[in-house]
A and B are shown apart, each in its own frame.
Chain A
Amino acid sequence: KAGVTQTPRYLIKTRGQQVTLSCSPISGHRSVSWYQQTPGQGLQFLFEYFSETQRNKGNFPGRFSGRQFSNSRSEMNVSTLELGDSALYLCASSLDPGYGEAFFGQGTRLTVV
């Protein structure tokens, strides 16, 4: 069974640009959540999607958004990039929101210059 796939693995963007990251969950998993990992703040929850609906959102500005498609694949978008958005963005897949076990992709390393 294939794991969680995130694309791209690496991205370099300029301040003010926008970026879209993609996540394909494990087959059969319907819940996708996103996390930002930085050395200073650790792993922080961004948002969670289930059945194409955002169910929870972390404490991030509105520049961070996402969506989920009918096949459970998810994308997250960051607009008007800032230097502080440089981070490893991780996607996690689980069967459904109430199921504890979450499996992570390899992440997308975003560098904003």
Chain B
Amino acid sequence: GQQLNQSPQSMFIQEGEDVSMNCTSSSIFNTWLWYKQDPGEGPVLLIALYKAGELTSNGRLTAQFGITRKDSFLNISASIPSDVGIYFCAGHPGTASKLTFGTGTRLQVTL
């Protein structure tokens, strides 16, 4: 099945560092979503973006909806150990509850 291109695949960073990850698609989406998943659990919604060019923050997280509607990025500032997990982007077409997910970015934070 289709998956969005998400990079980097994994990141090892030190506590306090900033993190950036992005997602690209060959198709346009009406909504971009970012999720975090811990092992054995379901994805938890972090940020939803609804308009091209939109920049949205949720605490230390900031995400942007690309102008072309084919990409999005997520920044995490001042990382902490509980940021460890896998981050997924997802695109929503606007007409159906069918999300297309990115390949995921595994984040490891060292003290």
B33 CB to closest chain A CB (Å) equals: 6
- Please classify how large the interface on chain A is, using the bins under 10, 10 to 19, 20 to 34, 35 or more: 20 to 34
Count residues of B near A (Cβ-Cβ below 8 Å): 27
Looking at B35-43, B53-61, B66-74, the stretch in contact with chain A turns out to be B35-43
A84 CB to closest chain B CB (Å) equals: 14
B86 CB to closest chain A CB (Å) equals: 10
Quick check: is B78 within 8 A (CB to CB) of the other chain?
Answer: no
- Residues A56 and B43 in contact, CB atoms below 8 Å apart: no
Query: Chain A interface secondary structure, helix, strand, loop or mixed?
Result: strand
B residues neighboring A (CB under 8 Å): 1, 3, 30-31, 33, 35, 40-45, 48, 50, 88, 90, 92, 94-101, 103-104
A residues neighboring B (CB under 8 Å): 4, 6, 31-33, 35, 41-45, 48, 50, 55-56, 58-59, 88, 90, 92, 94, 96-107, 109
